[in-house]
Amino acid sequence: MYLILTSRPGQFRTELVEGLRRIESCDYLFFGRCKARFVIAEVASDCRVAVIDETPPEVVNHVPVKFFEKFETVELARAALRQLVHEDDADVRLVPT
């Protein structure tokens, strides 16, 4: 099972914890600026994802993986991310990191 972790620089970030394994990551660029970072992670065991609010005061929430959308395969997770970008839209890109 796989899930997509999202971070928005300056707003919040998600962090891998024990029980999650990074498969790949990419930046979502909008007019050349990074608006979000995505990590496709494999769920190895039931765990809680750390979601950290980056605006003061910094707050850490531990969200169970059951609340995240899950994908059976890495390709299905990739397809979900590709829906954010249209081929004819030159100002929006997903860039592997």
pLDDT mean values, one per 10 residues, the chain (97 residues): 96 95 95 95 94 92 94 96 78 90
How confident is the model at residue 84, as a pLDDT?
A: 83
Q: What separation in angstroms does the CA of 16 have from each of 3, 5, 10, 50, 85?
A: 11, 8, 18, 7, 25
How confident is the model at residue 87, as a pLDDT?
A: 64
pTM of the model: 0.90
Q: Cα dihedral sign for 69, 75, 76, 78? A: positive
How confident is the model at residue 5, as a pLDDT?
A: 97
Q: What separation in angstroms does the CA of 60 have from each of 18, 19, 48, 77?
A: 16, 18, 11, 25
- Structural domains of the chain, count: 1
Instruction: Name the H helices within the chain.
Output: 74-82
How confident is the model at residue 80, as a pLDDT?
A: 94
How confident is the model at residue 86, as a pLDDT?
A: 74
- Residue span of the structural domain in which 22 resides: 2-96
